[in-house]
């Protein structure tokens, strides 16, 4: 089936994607919380429509290129979940003005808040804003008890030139554990930080309608969403070995793989050489903390998707991936020119490697090609 | 100067590029060897013209997308230096037929050699071929003394339907050392393997006009090029911290940087947050073996390009880069919204992160934008 296809190539199993999407939408509905899927993993309008159940609004992005692409393709209510800065204001204004779609921007900084008000006042463009809360990852955001957070929220809320919507936080440190009990604790801390911050902001007289949390692990393990209005999981649409290694999914939940060709046999070094290297797979090995044999990805049969022995890509150069073999039988089973599919270590990084599109499969057949939007 | 520029953004210093290119062209001329620059790092027609000194031929690529891009932009004699397979034949035929430009293909495998002959016979398309020799990296290629190598070469040479040009080898393992004497030994082994293989092929009655070697370190340290016809260095055009860490260049030879914005202050965690994360910088940390403080890149003043204290990007998430600071003064010196430029750890990976273009600077001014061609 794949023999004429040029490799490396990103393959997306639509059936698995739909199952993952439906599972999370169902869970959100059961827990009484809005699911605002993060599209930084998929960067695809076709995936987004499945992720939202057809609703053309309420999504999360990590670049303005994504924001622009989704807005121009009809999506509204787009949360840009990376701290905004002054050099990005004009593009946001242009996208919103030209499409009529809303882009929510986030900050944890007083200088930026003042600059947002200044720009809004000067141009008449009405930003929709949230503040970012740090719930323990210590990347972006201010602590729930930080008076600066309330100061920024009330400043934004008090300006007649823009709208203040609420707050967001992200427990990215939930990826550091593979234990459900530990992830549940982090999820609880994520919720508490969000709710405490919302309370502090409301106590200061500002509205705080949006209380947004989320990562894939904490969404699955959170004991409660009381006081939370929405979650922003994203990688669950595709899953990968990093999520599998943390007991967040099974291997059969992984929807994306890289189709690669065996381009050489290194018989002396006992390795198969693939045309999926550092650019196709990425150099992210986050799964390996809990799954050391993941290396740069599991090597699977291209049709059955069963793993081939214990094969994985163990070394990568820019366009070469080397797969160590413990038995010469692999040189017979996988002649040069034959194909394999690789389950990625960290799919957000792999999918962004420059493929530009997905080869979409359903029930074992190639049914479509979907584009994706990388870069900035 | 940069305040209106959206970030992250790939910046190329044209003056440094021209100096690096001229230095290597001069060295090749002095050593009596042809320089066939590897364009997998730059993926840019504008860079290629500088690398070849204006000659529109004799270049190396690592993807067919690059081959197609350079051929359609007028470049001839393009060596595709990654082992070719059957699923790529038709695209090569199409590119060559439509542009009239030559693409040399490489293999180390008998099955592929037979398939090349079968395809050439069936379609009338005349492949230009080389065989790949392993000189110690143990990735692609067959050892100089391997009888299979001679068998493939004579098979290709004997076919009336295609042309056999010679051989290529690559001492990629030269990157594993920072000692000139050690690199010189590897360069010698690279040359010996190439010359021995060429001799064996000629002894078997085949012509072997092309004897192609090359990496940036071995080109600089090789004691001799006797018997070698060309070298294929590439990263020297840009250089990076990985090359600096191996004493192959100075910091002031690095031509490419990532312009980034400070998007947050994590005062409790004592870190600056940048909008250059894992996608903008890549997760390659190859420099760190010899330069542990390189992390994901040195943080520099955007205008002077002097390093800011001992700052580097120490942690990356998809769109966030975290820079630890040892003094709160950095929060004053680099307010949110200010810009920095990052010297990359491994520029081949960083530049391929999805930027799609270079912001070109000369004498401290932005003078142009050049496109680049990522993906496959």
Residue B2 CA to residue B14 CA, distance in Å, equals: 17
Residues on chain B touching A264 (C-beta within 8 angstroms)? 83, 108-109, 132, 139-141
The answer to whether the Cβ–Cβ distance between A376 and B6 falls below 8 Å is: yes
Residues on chain A touching B352 (C-beta within 8 angstroms)? 279, 354
Q: How far separated are the first and last CA of chain A, in Å rounded?
A: 35
What would the DSSP string read from start to end of A23-92?
A: HHHHHHHHHT-EE--B-TTT--HHHHHHHTTT-SEEEEESSHHHHHHHHHTT-EEEEE-S---GGGHHHH
Residues on chain B touching A8 (C-beta within 8 angstroms)? 376
Backbone angles phi, psi at A345, to 5 degrees: -65, -55
Please, what sign has the CA dihedral across residues B85, B90, B91, B96?
positive
Residue A177 in contact with residue A195, Cβ under 8 Å? no
If we measure between CA atoms, which residue out of A101, A96, A107 comes closest to residue A148? A107
**Closest CB to B318 among A280, A336, A348:** A348
pLDDT-based confidence at residue B138 (cuts at 50, 70, 90): confident
Question: Alpha helices, DSSP H only, in B204-328?
Answer: 216-221, 241-245, 278-281
Find the residue in A nearest to B348 (Cα).
A318
pLDDT digits (tens, 9 = 90+) for A84-97: 999 999 999 999 99
Q: What is the pLDDT of residue B176?
A: 86
**Closest CB to A109 among B134, B264, B318:** B264
The answer to whether the Cβ–Cβ distance between B109 and A264 falls below 8 Å is: yes
* Coil vs helix vs strand at A258: strand
Q: How far is A30 from chain B (nearest CA, A)?
A: 30
Residue A39 in contact with residue A236, Cβ under 8 Å? no
Please, what sign has the CA dihedral across residues A342, A344, A347, A350?
negative
In angstroms, the Cα distances linking A167 to A142, A153, A201, A208, B282 are: 11, 9, 9, 7, 30
In angstroms, the Cα distances linking A71 to A124, A233, A263, B294 are: 20, 20, 41, 38
Does residue B136 belong to the interface with chain A, where contact is any CB pair within 8 Å? no
Residue B346 in contact with residue B282, Cβ under 8 Å? yes
pLDDT digits (tens, 9 = 90+) for B256-284: 999 999 999 999 899 999 999 999 999 99
Q: What is the pLDDT of residue A165?
A: 98
pLDDT-based confidence at residue B174 (cuts at 50, 70, 90): confident
pLDDT digits (tens, 9 = 90+) for A113-153: 999 999 999 999 999 999 999 998 888 999 999 999 999 99
pLDDT-based confidence at residue A3 (cuts at 50, 70, 90): confident
In angstroms, the Cα distances linking B294 to B272, B288, B317 are: 16, 6, 17
Does residue A135 belong to the interface with chain B, where contact is any CB pair within 8 Å? no
* Coil vs helix vs strand at A279: helix
Quote the tokens at residue A96.
Answer: 């919103």
Q: Between residues 216 and 255 of chain B, which touch chain A (CB distance below 8 Å)?
A: none
Residue pairs between chains A and B whose CB atoms are closer than 8 Å: 183
Does residue A143 belong to the interface with chain B, where contact is any CB pair within 8 Å? yes
The answer to whether the Cβ–Cβ distance between A3 and B352 falls below 8 Å is: no
Residue B104 CA to residue B76 CA, distance in Å, equals: 10
Q: Which helix (H) or strand (E) holds B133?
A: strand B128-134
Find the residue in B nearest to A332 (Cα).
B111
Question: Which residue matches tokens 């065996």?
Answer: A262
Q: Which residues of B21-52 are buried (b: 16+ CB within 10 A; e: fewer)?
A: beebbebbeeeebebbbbbbbbbbbbbbbbbb
> Is-above-0.95 flag for pTM?
yes
Residue A68 in contact with residue A91, Cβ under 8 Å? yes
Burial class (CB in 10 A: 0-12, 13-18, 19+), B328: exposed
Q: How far is B375 from chain A (nearest CA, A)?
A: 4
Report the DSSP beta bridge partners of residue A323.
A272
The answer to whether the Cβ–Cβ distance between A336 and B112 falls below 8 Å is: yes
Residues on chain B touching A62 (C-beta within 8 angstroms)? 318-319
- Work out the angle between the directed axes of helices B180-203 and B147-158 (0-180°, nearest 10): 50
Quote the tokens at residue A145.
Answer: 């008890």
If we measure between CA atoms, which residue out of A141, A131, A135 comes closest to residue A208? A131
What would the DSSP string read from start to end of B293-345?
A: GGTT-EEE-TTT--EEEEEE--EE-SS-EEEE-SSTHHHHHS-TT-EEEEE-S
Does residue A109 belong to the interface with chain B, where contact is any CB pair within 8 Å? yes
pLDDT digits (tens, 9 = 90+) for A289-340: 999 999 999 999 999 999 999 999 999 999 999 999 999 999 999 999 999 9
Find the residue in B nearest to A113 (Cα).
B336
If we measure between CA atoms, which residue out of A28, A22, A38, A43 comes closest to residue A376? A43
Residues on chain A touching B322 (C-beta within 8 angstroms)? 139
Does residue B4 belong to the interface with chain A, where contact is any CB pair within 8 Å? yes
Task: Give every CB contact of residue B163 below 8 A, 6+ residues apart in sequence.
Answer: B126, B127, B128, B129
Does residue A68 belong to the interface with chain B, where contact is any CB pair within 8 Å? no
Does residue A149 belong to the interface with chain B, where contact is any CB pair within 8 Å? no
ipTM: 0.97
DSSP A327: S
Find the residue in B nearest to A137 (Cα).
B269
Share of residues in chain A with pLDDT > 70 (%)? 100
Does residue B262 belong to the interface with chain A, where contact is any CB pair within 8 Å? yes
Residue B6 in contact with residue B218, Cβ under 8 Å? no
The pLDDT of B8-28, averaged and rounded, is: 98
Quote the tokens at residue A37.
Answer: 């899927």
Q: How far is B165 from chain A (nearest CA, A)?
A: 20
Quote the tokens at residue A92.
Answer: 């946001």
The answer to whether the Cβ–Cβ distance between B355 and A376 falls below 8 Å is: yes
pLDDT digits (tens, 9 = 90+) for B186-219: 999 999 999 999 999 999 999 999 999 989 999 9
Residue A174, pLDDT > 90, answer no
If we measure between CA atoms, which residue out of A187, A161, A162, A172 comes closest to residue A82? A172
Residue B119 in contact with residue B99, Cβ under 8 Å? no
pLDDT digits (tens, 9 = 90+) for A179-233: 999 999 999 999 999 999 999 999 999 999 999 998 999 999 999 999 999 999 9
Does residue B149 belong to the interface with chain A, where contact is any CB pair within 8 Å? no
Find the residue in B nearest to A349 (Cα).
B279
The answer to whether the Cβ–Cβ distance between B263 and A82 falls below 8 Å is: yes
Residue A84 in contact with residue A92, Cβ under 8 Å? yes
The pLDDT of B127-150, averaged and rounded, is: 95
The answer to whether the Cβ–Cβ distance between A283 and B282 falls below 8 Å is: yes
If we measure between CA atoms, which residue out of A338, A337, A285, A339 comes closest to residue A314? A285
Q: Rounded to an integer, what is the distance from CA A163 to the centroid of its chain?
A: 27
What would the DSSP string read from start to end of A167-231?
A: EEE--GGGGG---HHHHHHHHHHHHHHHHHHHHHHHHTT----EEEE--HHHHHH-S--TT--EE
Residues on chain A touching B111 (C-beta within 8 angstroms)? 335-337
Q: How far is B110 from chain A (nearest CA, A)?
A: 9
The answer to whether the Cβ–Cβ distance between B6 and A266 falls below 8 Å is: no
CA-derived radius of gyration, chain B: 22
Share of residues in chain A with pLDDT > 90 (%)? 95
Find the residue in A nearest to B351 (Cα).
A279
Does residue B332 belong to the interface with chain A, where contact is any CB pair within 8 Å? no
Residue B60 in contact with residue B40, Cβ under 8 Å? yes
Interface test with B, best of A146, A317, A335 (most B CBs within 10 A): A317
Residue A8 in contact with residue A355, Cβ under 8 Å? yes
Beta carbons within 10 angstroms of residue B270's beta carbon: 16
Pairing of strands B271-274, B256-266: antiparallel
The Cα angle at residue B349 between residues A335 and A376, in degrees rounded to 5: 115
Interface test with B, best of A2, A3, A38, A85 (most B CBs within 10 A): A85
Residue A59, pLDDT > 90, answer yes
Residue A302 CA to residue A313 CA, distance in Å, equals: 15
Report the DSSP beta bridge partners of residue B104.
B79, B128
Find the residue in A nearest to B142 (Cα).
A266
Residue B287 CA to residue A26 CA, distance in Å, equals: 46
Does residue B7 belong to the interface with chain A, where contact is any CB pair within 8 Å? yes
**Closest CB to B138 among A82, A263, A268:** A268
Residue B368 CA to residue B134 CA, distance in Å, equals: 41
């Amino acid at each position: 089936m794949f023999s004429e296809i040029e490799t490396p190539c990103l393959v997306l199993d639509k059936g698995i994607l739909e199952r993952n999407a439906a599972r999370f939408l169902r869970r959100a509905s059961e827990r009484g919380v809005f699911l605002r899927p993060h599209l930084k993993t998929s960067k695809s309008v076709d995936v987004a429509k499945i992720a939202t159940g057809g609703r053309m609004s309420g999504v999360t992005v990590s670049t303005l290129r994504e924001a622009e692409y989704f807005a121009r393709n009809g999506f509204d209510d787009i949360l840009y979940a990376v701290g905004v800065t002054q050099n990005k204001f004009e593009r946001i204004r242009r996208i919103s003005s030209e499409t009529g779609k809303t882009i929510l921007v986030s900050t944890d900084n007083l200088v930026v808040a003042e600059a947002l008000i200044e720009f809004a006042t000067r141009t008449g463009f009405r930003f929709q804003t949230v503040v970012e809360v740090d719930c323990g990852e210590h990347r972006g955001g201010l602590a729930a008890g930080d008076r600066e957070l309330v100061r920024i929220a009330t400043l934004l809320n008090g300006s007649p030139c823009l709208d203040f919507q609420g707050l967001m936080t992200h427990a990215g440190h939930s990826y550091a554990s593979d234990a459900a009990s530990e992830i549940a604790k982090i999820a609880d801390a994520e919720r508490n930080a969000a709710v405490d911050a919302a309370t502090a902001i409301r106590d200061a007289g500002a509205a705080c309608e949006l209380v947004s949390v989320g990562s894939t692990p904490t969404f699955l393990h959170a004991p409660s969403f009381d006081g939370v209005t929405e979650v922003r999981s994203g990688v669950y649409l595709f899953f990968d070995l990093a999520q599998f290694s943390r007991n967040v999914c099974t291997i059969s939940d992984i929807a994306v793989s890289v189709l690669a060709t065996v381009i050489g046999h290194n018989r002396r070094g006992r390795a198969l050489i693939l045309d999926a290297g550092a650019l196709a797979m990425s150099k992210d090995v986050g799964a390996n903390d809990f799954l050391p044999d993941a290396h740069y990805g599991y090597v699977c049969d291209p049709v059955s998707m069963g793993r081939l022995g214990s094969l994985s890509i163990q070394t990568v150069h820019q366009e070469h991936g080397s797969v160590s073999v413990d038995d010469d039988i692999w040189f017979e089973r996988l002649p040069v020119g034959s194909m394999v599919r690789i389950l990625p270590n960290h799919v957000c990084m792999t999918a962004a490697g420059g493929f530009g599109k997905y080869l979409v499969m359903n029930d074992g057949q190639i049914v479509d090609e979907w584009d994706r939007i990388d870069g900035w």
